[in-house]
Amino acid sequence: MHLFNVQKTLHAGKLTEKILKLFMATGNENILSLIQSLNIQHILLPVLPTKNMSVEIKDNEVDIVITALQPDLTSFMEDWRPIISQFHIIIVKEPGLEEDLQIPQGFDHQIYTGSDIQRIAGHTSITFSGHSCCYIGYLVSQKKYVISIDSDCLPARDKNGCVVDAVAQHIANLQTPATPFFFNTLYDPYRTGADFVRGYPFSLRTGVQCVLSCGLWLNLADYDAPTQAVKPNERNHRYVDAVLTVPARAMMPVSGINIAFDREIMGPTFFPGFRLPEEGKQRWESMEDIWCGLCAKVVGDHLGHGVKSGLPYVWRSASANRGDAFGSLKRGWEGVKLMEEVVPFFQSVRLPRTAVTAEECVFEIAKMVSERLGQSNAVFSKAAAAMIEWVKLWKTVNSQQA
Amino acid sequence: MASSVPSTPVLKEELDIVIPTIRNLDFLEMWRPFFQPYHLIIVQDGEPSRTIRVPEGFDYDLYNRNDVNRILGPRANCISFKDSACRCFGYLVSKKKYIYTIDDDCFVAKDPSGKDINALEQHIQNLLSPSTPFFFNTLYDPYRDGADFVRGYPFSLREGAPTAVSHGLWLNIPDYDAPTQLVKPLERNTRYVDAVLTIPKGTLFPMCGMNLAFNRELIGPAMYFGLMGDGQPIGRYDDMWAGWCTKVICDHMGWGVKTGLPYIWHSKASNPFVNLKKEYNGIYWQEELIPFFQSLTIPKESKTVQKCYIEISKQVRAKLGKVDPYFNKLADAMVTWIEAWDELNPSGGAASDVLNGPAKAK
């Protein structure tokens, strides 16, 4: 009787999802095998990645920001040419660098020097020395997305020996949704060949917008000074073929070496606020990007956006290792000590519902830094001040560009 | 600073391998080089009259439904029938510190270099090295050879937390639910992701029981696989249920859950139509269950896993009973399970007296 009804319904063209469910719920073996033999499939919309959470990013919406800490960028840019030449490039010259930059032909680029930095931000107390000059690049960019890679990094090769297009991977990460509310054990469910696993709630499968993509490094990993000093010869050879969303409320150390973000939404969270007293030009002698990353994660979590970590890799050359890690210990140690207070602080930050933009969030965080950490170390009160100045500067510069 | 484990201890006398089966155990032949040193606990589901042949040379105990009834008496009703959830009976009767559980359609996988993967060895490494649930390390497991904590990782957190669970993954047939299987019947997982990572504190995940190891002395009582299968309105959510309870309790106790390596080769795709029937309620109920577990708080005074678990059962009854009467039955079964656990594993061992806070990892 049931079987006849299924066939009748089919012929009438009236087999809807709801009716299919009813037939299947009967548990009738004949019906189930008929459905199977006819290959009738359920269309459960939430399973398919929905278009509204995926975005399309065009090349002209991206700025590549490069920091020049030494004048000759020729080999760096030649190595990256196939990957970055179709994008607009902002090159920020480290203010202390005197010689002219050497940049090969064929790149659509703009250079910002110390005098530009002075003009734009000289009235603030924010310093843009060393790697921190990249933030000027983020500030003046007029694009929606920024991708930034340190100039001592080259394109990496994957396990098959193919060159990794780090820019395309960052763009893919920002285009596809993030999944911060529940961990997917097969990592990024939007990658080809993967999906959400059994047990992943369907209501969470649309994901949220990804606003920050944190890449990794082969060869020289981003270690701090003590680790560098103890393991000077360690190289990272492990290519982990995964992108994953860092879950909501989980804090992480974001490295500025290989990073991409939605500048329009998250720009206010990237600034050189947390400066160590004797900061040097080596990455292991600074922590300002770690501070930004913690801000960005807190802000992203609050605004309901996602942060991804993993691919793409870049190859960080051993020339990044110049300098004496032991010597840096004296300088970098301060930062390492301060992290003990910084991390619990950010883990405890709760932003008010009224803060609905990154600017408002950063402003709130600055107040909390001042109140809760300001007393313990001048670095914190300076960071709080820098954050407030940055938000004002951001608003000014961006309204001028609008 | 992270120190690497030079060679993995075998833990022959400290680990039981628990295998639920209804068919046969032929798959053990492939695992022989890796499993033979260990004691096996085989939980035979389905009709007890059927004889399950165990390949020669393995040291094992086999329990069928008659044994379950005999050993647990009236409490046997908490152990599922006609569902692989019955495997948790094996955890109950084991006397070892560690458990590895694997499905009978899981075989030895090969790593990208073509070498056979000793899944058990990797699980042991995962369990014996600390986890890092309090701050995410972007280079994944910092205790692995060739890796470490990255710049910005607080030194006070570098000792890590004891690892309670090691959740492995699967190549070939991925662990998808029925709707996804129907939409993508041909998809195979061919991506070998060379990472072990700790799932951050406060984050839930879907725990699959196909390739799973855990420290039974720490978290055993939380590994109840629920009421599934025959006579129950739900199936294929046994491991999910255990995973959510386990993660909430691990978060409360300050222990870590790792996921990633090792991979096994999952050979059998189950029938998606059969699965859909089993999972149907689960797919709808999990929309309520996830918020429930995400907002679950366990009182500070609950300092043992058993007490935490009983707390959870109370909240299941209070908040999920209205979703479906099944959850009242499940709450009862959770209590029965703990009673059975305490009876078969009397206090005096390290497990029931672990105080809140990290235990020293070896």
What's the CATH number where B102 sits? 3.90.550
- Share of residues in chain B with pLDDT > 70 (%): 93
Better pLDDT: A321 or B179: B179
| Cα distances (Å, whole numbers) of residue A291 to A141, A160, B75, B217 | 21, 35, 54, 39
| Cα distances (Å, whole numbers) of residue B348 to A98, A143, B352, B356 | 72, 65, 7, 17
Q: Is A186 in Cβ contact with B189 (below 8 Å)?
A: yes
Tokens of A145: 């997305």
Q: Is B208 in Cβ contact with A199 (below 8 Å)?
A: yes
Q: Of B280, B151, B107, B309, nearest to A325 (Cα)?
A: B151
Residue B3 lies in a domain: no
B4/A37 Cα distance (integer angstroms): 54
Map out the domains of chain A with their CATH numbers.
3-37 (no CATH), 59-401 (3.90.550)
The predicted pLDDT at position B223 comes to 98
A363 reaches B (C-beta below 8 A): no
Residue B291 lies in a domain: yes
The CB-based long-range contact list for B51-54 (8 Å cut-off, 24+ gap) reads B52/B21, B52/B24, B52/B25, B53/B24, B53/B25, B54/B25, B54/B28
Average pLDDT over every residue of A131-148: 95
DSSP string, B100-162: EEE-TTEE--B-TTSPBP-HHHHHHHHHHS-B-TTS--TTS-TTSTT--PPTT--GGGTT-B-
Q: Of B287, B212, B282, B197, nearest to B246 (Cα)?
A: B212
Q: Is A231 in Cβ contact with B140 (below 8 Å)?
A: no
Residue B148 lies in a domain: yes
The residue among A187, A197, A287, A346 with the most chain B CBs within 10 A of its CB, best to mutate, is A197
> Do residues B254 and B159 make contact, with C-beta atoms less than 8 angstroms apart?
no
User: pLDDT category, A20, cuts 50, 70, 90?
Assistant: low
Out of A122-131, A143-152, B37-46, B148-157, which region has the weakest mean confidence (pLDDT)? A122-131
CA distance B349 to chain A (A): 33
> Do residues A96 and A281 make contact, with C-beta atoms less than 8 angstroms apart?
no
Question: What is the total residue count of chain B?
Answer: 362
The predicted pLDDT at position A43 comes to 47
- Share of residues in chain A with pLDDT > 70 (%): 85
Sign of the CA dihedral running B100, B103, B104, B110: negative
**What ipTM was assigned to the predicted interfaces of this complex?**
0.93
A75/A147 Cα distance (integer angstroms): 19
Question: For each of chain B's 362 residues, which pLDDT tens digit applies?
Answer: 454 445 676 899 999 999 999 888 999 999 999 999 999 999 999 999 999 999 999 999 999 999 999 999 999 999 999 889 999 999 999 999 999 999 999 999 999 999 999 999 999 999 999 999 999 999 999 999 999 999 999 999 999 999 999 999 999 999 999 999 999 999 999 999 999 999 999 999 999 999 999 999 999 999 999 999 888 999 899 999 999 999 999 999 999 999 999 999 999 888 988 898 889 899 999 999 999 999 999 999 999 999 999 999 999 999 999 999 999 999 999 999 999 999 999 875 444 444 434 443 33
Taking every pair of Cα atoms in chain B, the longest distance, rounded to a whole number of angstroms, is 60
**SS3 call for B294:** helix
Structural domain count of chain B: 1
The predicted pLDDT at position A243 comes to 97
Sign of the CA dihedral running A39, A45, A48, A50: positive
Q: What is the number of H-type helices and E-type strands within chain A?
A: 13, 9
B236 reaches A (C-beta below 8 A): yes
CA distance B60 to chain A (A): 31
> Do residues A180 and A246 make contact, with C-beta atoms less than 8 angstroms apart?
yes
Q: Is B203 in Cβ contact with A182 (below 8 Å)?
A: yes
CA distance B141 to chain A (A): 11
Residue B177 lies in a domain: yes
The conformation of residue B298, written as its DSSP 8-state character, comes to: -
Q: Is A250 in Cβ contact with B203 (below 8 Å)?
A: yes
Q: Which of A191, A201, A252 sits opposite B287 (nearest CB)?
A: A201
Average pLDDT over every residue of A112-122: 94
CA distance A2 to chain B (A): 17
End-to-end CA distance of chain A: 69
Q: A190-249: per-residue pLDDT in tens?
A: 999 999 999 999 999 999 999 999 999 999 999 988 898 888 899 999 999 999 999 999
User: pLDDT category, A7, cuts 50, 70, 90?
Assistant: low
Q: Is B1 in Cβ contact with A198 (below 8 Å)?
A: no
The burial class, CB within 10 Å (0-12 / 13-18 / 19+), for A125 is: exposed
Q: Is A187 in Cβ contact with B287 (below 8 Å)?
A: no
Number of other residues whose CB lies within 10 A of the CB of residue A174 = 24
Number of other residues whose CB lies within 10 A of the CB of residue B301 = 8
- Chain B CA closest to residue A227: B1
A32 reaches B (C-beta below 8 A): yes
Residue B359 lies in a domain: no
Q: Of A196, A297, A309, A202, nearest to A250 (Cα)?
A: A297
Residue B1 lies in a domain: no
> Do residues A182 and B109 make contact, with C-beta atoms less than 8 angstroms apart?
no
Residue B221 lies in a domain: yes
| Average pLDDT along chain A | 88
DSSP string, A327-348: HHHHHHHHHHHHHHHHHHHHHH
Q: Is A198 in Cβ contact with B208 (below 8 Å)?
A: yes
The conformation of residue B1, written as its DSSP 8-state character, comes to: -
CA distance A112 to chain B (A): 28
The predicted pLDDT at position B354 comes to 44
B217/B163 Cα distance (integer angstroms): 11
Tokens of A118: 């002075």
The predicted pLDDT at position A108 comes to 97
Q: A238-257: per-residue pLDDT in tens?
A: 999 999 999 999 999 999 99
The residue among B151, B271, B281 with the most chain A CBs within 10 A of its CB, best to mutate, is B151
- Chain A CA closest to residue B204: A182
- Chain A CA closest to residue B149: A223
DSSP string, A147-214: EEE-TTEEE-B-TTSPBP-HHHHHHHHHHS-B-TTS--TTS-TTSTT--PPTT--GGGTT-B-EEEEE
- Share of residues in chain B with pLDDT > 90 (%): 85
A365/A349 Cα distance (integer angstroms): 7
Query: What residues form DSSP beta bridges with B59?
Result: B39
The residue segments making up the domain with residue B286 are: 15-346
- Chain A CA closest to residue B205: A183
Residue B50 lies in a domain: yes
